[in-house]
Chains A and B, each alone.
Chain A
Amino acid sequence: DTEVTQTPKHLVMGMTNKKSLKCEQHMGHRAMYWYKQKAKKPPELMFVYSYEKLSINESVPSRFSPECPNSSLLNLHLHALQPEDSALYLCASSPRDHSGNTIYFGEGSWLTVV
């Protein structure tokens, strides 16, 4: 079972709102990721958590704030976003066991900032 679950599937928020995207996996994976994907573009890495610690931050603006409460959960807190932040946000996980780091993706959360 290779399942990464993301909620909500769709989110519309104003530029002054605070919202969160949630991600969950129960595969025992120890690395979790947030990617951002604009239309007709490849996914771009935002954050990587390895063993619940932030290991990669790809110079993402502070209006995006990741959180990893435990090894199964990953959140992305959103505040004061801009319309250009509208995109598909993909969560992913991998075993982090030097097995080639196969990354498994969720279905994504479609974010629209108005």
Chain B
Amino acid sequence: AQSVTQLDSQVPVFEEAPVELRCNYSSSVSVYLFWYVQYPNQGLQLLLKYLSGSTLVKGINGFEAEFNKSQTSFHLRKPSVHISDTAEYFCAVTDNNNDMRFGAGTRLTVKP
């Protein structure tokens, strides 16, 4: 079965600094990878996804992620964060069996 590991439970950064949230996956079959964001007291919003093709994926709000098959990673990056990016970020993996599994989440806190 597939799974993901988010290596950092909390990431504090200052406004306008770059940020990287790390995600590693494990699976014995081809997978699809996702990043979701959850703002306080809200549901999950899709940031971006990797299905196939180009390994660099661009998403909403200036985020991007790079799929690295050899390192089984799918790290999320943003070159300059804003206060409004403060949220919980979840990496997720699925195969063709409708079975999406989430990482434990990374709490991004952007400080002024």
Contact = CB atoms under 8 A, between A and B. Distances in A.
B100 A101 contact: yes
Interface string B81-112: 00000000010101010111111110000000
Category for how many chain B residues contact A: 20 to 34
B112 to A, nearest CB: 24
A40 B103 CA distance: 12
Interface string B17-43: 000000000000000101010000011
B83 to A, nearest CB: 21
A42 B83 CA distance: 23
A105 B45 contact: yes
Interface string A79-114: 000000000001010101011111111111000000
Contacts of A45: 99-101
Given A42-B90, A105-B44, A105-B45, A100 B99 contact: no
A100 B51 contact: yes
A107 B44 CA distance: 7
Interface stretch (A14-22, A48-56, A59-67, A70-78): A48-56
B98 A48 contact: yes
A42 B43 contact: no
Contacts of A4: 43
A55 B97 CA distance: 9
Contacts of B45: 105
Nearest to A31: B98
Interface in B38-81: 42-46, 49, 51-52
Interface of B: 32, 34, 36, 42-46, 49, 51-52, 90, 92, 94, 96, 98-105
30 contacts: A2-B46, A41-B105, A42-B102, A42-B103, A42-B104, A43-B44, A43-B90, A48-B99, A55-B98, A90-B44, A94-B98, A98-B96, A100-B49, A100-B52, A100-B94, A101-B32, A101-B94, A102-B34, A102-B49, A103-B34, A103-B46, A103-B92, A103-B100, A104-B46, A105-B36, A105-B45, A107-B42, A107-B43, A108-B42, A108-B43
